[in-house]
């Protein structure tokens, strides 16, 4: 899973005017038309993706006479450094993206339009998984159109498994098996890391939550921290023992999402927790060898941290803008063979097609059409991802806890401690973290 609020590079030069930010309440595009602003135009550094986006805008406008689409240059779409200020200032585009961690906040602040009466404009809205739609629904009202949903698994290097005498087609299913496999990979020699883990930059706490859920633990219950539990202690004790007894997690404390991705792509790290999009970035962005990487279900399999995002509509949008905005969402983000689901075009443009990185439509007709299109145009070894696909139906997706980033920062301390200090006291670390977390959670 890509922590969109962690691994962000702010594109400079963003200059939003009131009109460009959806502030045109009339929605007039001149001559009786309507204009909308939309986020997420690909960056200039990805010219093929940017050209494809611009082609889609032209195609959409031709199919919807009178509608004018203005794209804003901001990549990644969601930037935690600017999101809150833009939201508070009412400066969001007519159509803007919101990560699942921020759904509740945006809705509570009335910064997303109630689209309950207009969801029919998105033709396949009913095919979106009920639990995913439920995340953008409050008090019976719908405030967004989900377009991404995924859960965490175990990404692993199949080539290293084979080199260490492990079966790449039988990846670990339990944390005990992860530890045993990591030891064998680390024993290959200097520079080999059996299992990679984070220790800071909020990614340590983020991965703590993933491992906790996989063991059946909870981060927050009834508004109070719940991670100082048998499951939480097991997470830290296991990591401590892998570091200090097995020497299988390396000696570097990795901080920030890309650091572990880069280490994984270098070809000497055996496993890491991650969603399918990790495969995409390891092989495409960091030049890992595609044939080497696979993914399976999260170890333990009790539950898996889920992530995702939705598109929401600026509450200032007029009725005509709202309709045009939903038509754009329908065309660009939710229709098989169109927009981002034009896998044939993606393949031609050199995109890493084939990773099962989005399951928001489930096994609905639309979901099946998307999966078939992805498989038919795959350039990556889809067989390597079958263990993840097979395991997914039996693993309960679990959303991120409230005040997730603040809690992750608190738990960074515990994760870093067990990776850097052999004498680390797990009980005290979790007790201290629990106290700090409860103070954070008490601030409403």
Q: Do domains 36-149+307-384 and 153-304+393-442 have the same CATH topology?
A: yes
Instruction: Write out pLDDT tens, residues 1-24.
Output: 555 444 333 222 222 233 333 333
Per domain, the residue ranges of the chain are 36-149+307-384, 153-304+393-442
Torsion 428-430-431-437 (CA) sign: positive
Q: Give the rounded percent of residues in the chain with a pLDDT score beyond 70.
A: 92
**Radius of gyration, alpha carbons of the chain:** 22
DSSP string, 306-341: EEEEEEEE-TT--HHHHHHHHHHHHHHHSSTTSGGG
Mean pLDDT of 73-101: 83
Domain 153-304+393-442 has CATH 1.10.10.10: no
Could you tell me if 157 and 270 are in contact, meaning their C-beta atoms sit under 8 angstroms apart?
Answer: yes
Reply yes or no on whether the pLDDT at 25 is more than 70: no
Reply yes or no on whether the pLDDT at 414 is more than 60: yes
Residue 340: which of 79, 93, 147, 114 has the closest Cα? 147
Q: Which CATH number fits domain 36-149+307-384: 3.30.70.270, 3.40.50.300, 3.40.50.720, 3.40.190.10?
A: 3.40.190.10
- The SS3 of residue 255 is strand
Reply yes or no on whether the pLDDT at 103 is more than 60: yes
- Angle CA 202–156–180, to nearest 5: 95
pLDDT band for position 86 (50/70/90)? confident
Q: Provide the terminal-to-terminal Cα distance of the chain, rounded to the nearest Å.
A: 28
Supply the pTM of this predicted model.
Answer: 0.80
Predicted confidence at residue 67, as pLDDT, reads 97
Instruction: Write out pLDDT tens, residues 278-332.
Output: 998 898 889 999 999 999 999 999 999 988 899 999 999 999 999 999 999 999 9
- Angle CA 84–85–87, to nearest 5: 65
Reply yes or no on whether the pLDDT at 44 is more than 80: yes
Instruction: Write out pLDDT tens, residues 417-441.
Output: 999 999 999 999 999 999 999 999 9
């Amino acid at each position: 899973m890509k922590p969109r609020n962690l691994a962000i590079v702010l594109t400079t030069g963003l200059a939003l005017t009131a009109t460009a930010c959806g502030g045109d309440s009339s929605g007039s595009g001149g001559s009786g038309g309507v204009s909308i602003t939309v986020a997420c135009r690909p960056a200039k550094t990805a010219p093929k993706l940017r050209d494809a986006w611009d082609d889609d805008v032209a195609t959409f406008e031709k199919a919807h006479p009178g509608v004018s689409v203005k794209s804003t240059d901001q990549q990644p779409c969601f930037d935690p450094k600017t999101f809150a200020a833009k939201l508070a200032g009412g400066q969001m585009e007519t159509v803007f993206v919101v990560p699942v961690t921020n759904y509740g906040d945006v809705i509570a602040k009335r910064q997303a339009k109630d689209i309950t009466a207009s969801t029919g404009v998105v033709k396949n809205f009913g095919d979106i998984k009920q639990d995913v739609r439920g995340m953008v629904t409050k008090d019976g009202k719908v405030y967004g159109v989900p377009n991404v949903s995924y859960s965490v698994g175990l990404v692993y290097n199949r080539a290293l498994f084979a080199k260490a005498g492990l079966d790449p087609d039988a990846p670990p299913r339990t944390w005990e098996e992860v530890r045993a496999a990591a030891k064998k990979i680390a024993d290959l020699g200097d520079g080999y890391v059996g299992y990679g883990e984070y220790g800071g930059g909020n990614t340590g706490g983020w991965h703590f939550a993933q491992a906790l859920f996989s063991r059946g633990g909870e981060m927050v219950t009834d508004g109070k921290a719940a991670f100082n539990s048998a499951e939480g202690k097991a997470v830290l004790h296991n990591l401590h023992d892998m570091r200090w007894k097995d020497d299988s997690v390396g000696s570097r404390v990795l901080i920030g999402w890309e650091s572990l991705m880069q280490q994984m792509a270098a070809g000497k790290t055996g496993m890491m927790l991650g969603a399918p999009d990790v495969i995409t970035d390891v092989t495409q962005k960091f030049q890992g060898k595609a044939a080497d990487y696979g993914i399976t279900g999260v170890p333990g399999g009790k539950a898996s941290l889920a992530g995702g995002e939705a598109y929401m509509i600026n509450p200032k949008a007029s009725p005509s803008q709202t309709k045009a905005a939903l038509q754009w969402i329908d065309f660009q983000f939710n229709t098989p063979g169109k927009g981002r689901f034009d896998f044939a075009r993606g393949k031609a443009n050199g995109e890493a097609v084939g990773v099962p990185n989005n399951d928001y439509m489930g096994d609905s007709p639309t979901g099946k059409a998307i999966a078939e299109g992805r498989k038919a145009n795959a350039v990556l070894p889809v067989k390597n991802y079958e263990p993840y696909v097979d395991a997914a139906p039996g693993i309960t997706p679990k959303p991120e806890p409230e005040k997730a980033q603040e809690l992750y920062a608190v738990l960074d301390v515990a994760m870093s401690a067990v990776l850097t200090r052999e004498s680390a006291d797990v009980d005290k670390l979790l007790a201290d973290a629990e106290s700090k977390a409860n103070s954070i959670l008490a601030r409403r």
